[in-house]
Chain A
Amino acid sequence: MAYTSDLRIKNIFKDIHEDVKMSLKEFNLEDRIQLRIFDESSEDNKLFEEGGLSFKDPSTDNNLGSNDAGWTIDNKIPLVVVEGTFGTERGQFGDGQLNRFSHSLGVALNGYIGVTYVPFKGESYSKKDKNIPSDIKSKQLNVEYATIHNGMLTGALRICKSEKGYYLVMDPYKKGELTRLIVEATKEYFKLENVLDECIKEIIESMKKALGKNTYASRSKQTVYSLLNTHNQIISDWSRLFTQNYEALTTSQKRDGHGLLGKVLIDMHFPTNGKFYAIFIRLTKDEIDKMTKRRSKEFQYINNHPLIEVRCIDDLIFTDSLLEQDIRNIKTLNLLQNSRNDLLKKLQLAVNKGEVKLKY
């Protein structure tokens, strides 16, 4: 069964559809615009051309994430396809938000308008004793604010620039914005006078405004800005050191594959020199081979994408053998309970300074 938040968002989309139809009545287009929406997520997972709400990445032929609703022309041509989530109101403060990055990406890569519909500033209630508002009597309300991940916005803005479609991130609490987008996209499709460009421009401006001066990954201990090979050539100016181990990527409780894919899908658009290298510092060559044989959708996508190179600890050459040993020693450590941020920072510095290189 669907949980209530999924139902809430689907109920909202159905109401938006009625508003869209009402607006298109004066152009006699209310019967041409159709909403594709399902009760169960199993139907969302089918490809759009097979009646579902998922799209393939044209460069790999792999399916990307499914969406919640699609506005179509005559149920045949996708116009605006939306993935909705209230994650920022349910304690998703960090990288968990990127789990859904692939959903709208598939729409944009195929030339349509993909929308991720998520509160930009979500009120997330939690059980902690801090952040109790001062102007109330109750001590039983802890409110924190989960803001939209700047990686989500940065990635989406890059896609808008580089791809033929759009990856828009919209706040459901900005009433009427999605309705207007769908109405204008419909008018554009039927070559009626419209303000679709202006509408998209405004949405992109609000995404930029939400991003502000934040720079994606500026405080990350994983990003690599200068990756050298054994010939001392810079082979990438944007890569990442991933800390997921075999357990995290293969057990259902951890489910780190989604978050990993989200980050990679953003990062792969960043290198201006060379490719993007996904370097798994807690996986060995054997484990990479095992992962390759498993049917993990996310890992297969990363491993087969022409813009991504997958590497592991065995592919690195360390000048500092103690550092190498320290990294190998954290292979199975629970990093949430035993933070090794200092060590990861040390590794990041060493890679960026060329003290750790890639074998090939």
Chain B
Amino acid sequence: MVYSENDLVKIFKNLGFIINKVDKYTSIEMSAYEAFIFSAITGATYLLAETGITMKGRNEIFIHRSIFQNDKYIYSPGLFSRDINEGYLEENSADMLKRKYPSVFKGKKNIILKEISSGSSSSIEKNIFKSLYECGEDTNNIILYKHFQSGSSFEPFLEYLTTKHFLSKGYLIENQVPWFQQKFSYNGKILNGGIPDFSAFHSNISSDLYRYSILNENSGIILNMIPLLKNFDEFDFKDKKIQKTYSYELIIGEAKSDKNSLEQALIQLSKYQSVELATELFTIITDVNNNENDTFGEIFINDFALSVKKSANVACTNSTNQLKDTIWMDNYIKALLLGNLGKDKIDELINDYRLSNNLSILKIYKSFHLIDMIIHTSIDIIINQISKK
């Protein structure tokens, strides 16, 4: 099912966005904060440069959940990088991105829509960048969203709409979810891995994020933004000293552009369900309002707006594994928060941790020294370090 540009405009209107025109392009006006969410989920590119710059794919820390990896943390560079001597470095920290792309974090943005017909090249950024620049448009504030007629761009767009829905319910959200890619043995069965498209979740750390006003009942946060909070005026890290208890929740969704892929989505969700972590699972398919499965709910588009139909049945879960997964989730969020600190401040945290644990102070810290500190350091210590001027 292929949506036209007009259909997309109706969906954006229903989300409350203002529709503009930039040169000959229809555009959607968004705040810097909203535009960041759109780019980080869909991969849409800021026309800060002729190749286009996306905020997607900049916050990788762990590629698998440790519950599936013998309780080990499977770290991968992304948010952090390293030097040739293996010392960890900042790669996509708040300071680095603000230095490289300052305009991402301020002012109003216009998302321009460009339809790409099947078989045409998608490499159109340079031409659009040039033509807008020549018309006198400020390309720093323009984001290009390529809408492929083949339908290939619609899955991330559905993930974006689902993100908007669960943000309004106060969840932590991520797309391309760490899971397991190799084979995993569970309850006597060998399961093949995969990467769920979407997750909305809560763990113990949600209570801390609530206390520091990073999320609340009707405003959640995408994980891509957590390393960059200090670049947005919306966050001040003040401890409001109000407690709210959150219990483990993990909502998993599998996005497909149309009903032809329903069976594939159900197979994938069944695989994710079989490890008994997810509390709710959904098919996210444009035109499927009944997936004929007893346990999986449906997320679909109805009259140019997202509809969410929960399943009447509850997914079977394993509370012991959920407890282990909570610890992994908490450490994952703490790691992401470190993006708000420069390397010198993180090194201070590592030194403090090592001194108090009788571990030697080193000149070069590697990724495992960093992760070791994260596992043993509280969120309060990390946020205090971020709040220090």
- Against B, the Cβ 8 Å flags (1 = close, 0 = not) of A44-67 are 000000010000000000000000
A89 touches B77 (CB 8 A): yes
Q: Is A133 part of the contact surface with B, judged by Cβ < 8 Å?
A: yes
> Smallest CB-CB separation from B84: which chain A residue?
A173
In the assembled complex, the Cα of A153 lies from the Cα of B155 at a distance in Å of: 39
B81: chain A residues within 8 A (beta carbon): 173
Q: Which of B13-21, B55-63, B272-280, B283-291 contacts A (4 or more CB under 8 A)?
A: B55-63
> Smallest CB-CB separation from B362: which chain A residue?
A135
- Against A, the Cβ 8 Å flags (1 = close, 0 = not) of B119-130 are 001110010000
In the assembled complex, the Cα of A39 lies from the Cα of B77 at a distance in Å of: 21
B176 touches A140 (CB 8 A): no
Task: Pick the residue among B58, B126, B366 that contacts A11 (CB under 8 A).
Answer: B58
A175: chain B residues within 8 A (beta carbon): 83
For chain A, the count of residues having a C-beta within 8 Å of the partner chain is 46
Q: A15-B100, A135-B360 are in contact. Are A173 and B371 (CB under 8 A)?
A: no
B146 touches A39 (CB 8 A): yes
Task: Pick the residue among A2, A5, A37, A128 that contacts B123 (CB under 8 A).
Answer: A37
B51 touches A17 (CB 8 A): yes
In the assembled complex, the Cα of A34 lies from the Cα of B376 at a distance in Å of: 47
A38 touches B122 (CB 8 A): yes
Q: Is B316 part of the contact surface with A, judged by Cβ < 8 Å?
A: no
B293 smallest CB distance to A (angstroms): 23
> Smallest CB-CB separation from B72: which chain A residue?
A127
A17: chain B residues within 8 A (beta carbon): 49, 51
**Residue of A2, A35, A128, A138 ringed by the most chain B CB atoms within 10 A:** A138
A136: chain B residues within 8 A (beta carbon): 359, 368-369, 372
B252 smallest CB distance to A (angstroms): 16
Give chain B interface residues in 32-69, CB to chain A under 8 Å.
43, 49, 51-54, 56-58, 60, 63, 66, 69
A10: chain B residues within 8 A (beta carbon): 57
In the assembled complex, the Cα of A125 lies from the Cα of B69 at a distance in Å of: 10
B371 touches A7 (CB 8 A): no
Q: A141-B73, A142-B72 are in contact. Are A40 and B368 (CB under 8 A)?
A: no
Task: Pick the residue among B52, B60, B75, B195 that contacts A125 (CB under 8 A).
Answer: B75
B145 smallest CB distance to A (angstroms): 12
B245: chain A residues within 8 A (beta carbon): none
A51: chain B residues within 8 A (beta carbon): 121, 123
B82 touches A18 (CB 8 A): no
A89: chain B residues within 8 A (beta carbon): 76-77
B176 touches A1 (CB 8 A): yes
A236 smallest CB distance to B (angstroms): 38
B73: chain A residues within 8 A (beta carbon): 125, 138, 140-141
Give chain A interface residues in 13-46, CB to chain B under 8 Å.
14-15, 17-18, 34-40, 43
A127 touches B74 (CB 8 A): yes
A253 smallest CB distance to B (angstroms): 9
A7 touches B57 (CB 8 A): yes
Q: Is B187 part of the contact surface with A, judged by Cβ < 8 Å?
A: no
Q: A5-B76, A125-B73 are in contact. Are A11 and B372 (CB under 8 A)?
A: no
A39 smallest CB distance to B (angstroms): 5
Task: Pick the residue among A2, A37, A141, A174 that contacts B75 (CB under 8 A).
Answer: A141
A6: chain B residues within 8 A (beta carbon): 57
Q: Is A166 part of the contact surface with B, judged by Cβ < 8 Å?
A: no
A18: chain B residues within 8 A (beta carbon): 49
Q: Is A273 part of the contact surface with B, judged by Cβ < 8 Å?
A: no
In the assembled complex, the Cα of A54 lies from the Cα of B230 at a distance in Å of: 42
Q: Is B78 part of the contact surface with A, judged by Cβ < 8 Å?
A: yes
B362: chain A residues within 8 A (beta carbon): 135
> Smallest CB-CB separation from A253: which chain B residue?
B192
A268 smallest CB distance to B (angstroms): 32
B84 touches A174 (CB 8 A): yes
> Smallest CB-CB separation from B92: which chain A residue?
A11
Q: Is B375 part of the contact surface with A, judged by Cβ < 8 Å?
A: yes
In the assembled complex, the Cα of A17 lies from the Cα of B60 at a distance in Å of: 22
> Smallest CB-CB separation from A39: which chain B residue?
B122
Q: Is A137 part of the contact surface with B, judged by Cβ < 8 Å?
A: yes
Q: Is B260 part of the contact surface with A, judged by Cβ < 8 Å?
A: no
Q: Is B131 part of the contact surface with A, judged by Cβ < 8 Å?
A: no
B82: chain A residues within 8 A (beta carbon): 123, 173
A43 touches B43 (CB 8 A): no
Q: A38-B123, A86-B76, A136-B359 are in contact. Are A4 and B368 (CB under 8 A)?
A: no
Q: Is A90 part of the contact surface with B, judged by Cβ < 8 Å?
A: yes
In the assembled complex, the Cα of A40 lies from the Cα of B152 at a distance in Å of: 9
Q: A8-B78, A15-B100, A127-B70 are in contact. Are A138 and B123 (CB under 8 A)?
A: no
B366 touches A123 (CB 8 A): yes
Interface contacts beyond A90-B76, A123-B368, A136-B372: sample of 20 additional A-B pairs, CB < 8 Å, sorted by A = A7-B57, A8-B77, A10-B57, A11-B57, A14-B49, A14-B51, A14-B53, A37-B51, A38-B122, A38-B123, A123-B86, A125-B73, A127-B74, A128-B70, A133-B368, A136-B369, A137-B357, A137-B372, A141-B368, A173-B83
B contact set with A: CB distance below 8 Å = 43, 49, 51-54, 56-58, 60, 63, 66, 69-78, 81-84, 86, 100, 121-123, 126, 146, 152, 155-156, 176, 195, 197, 357, 359-360, 362, 366-369, 371-372, 375-376
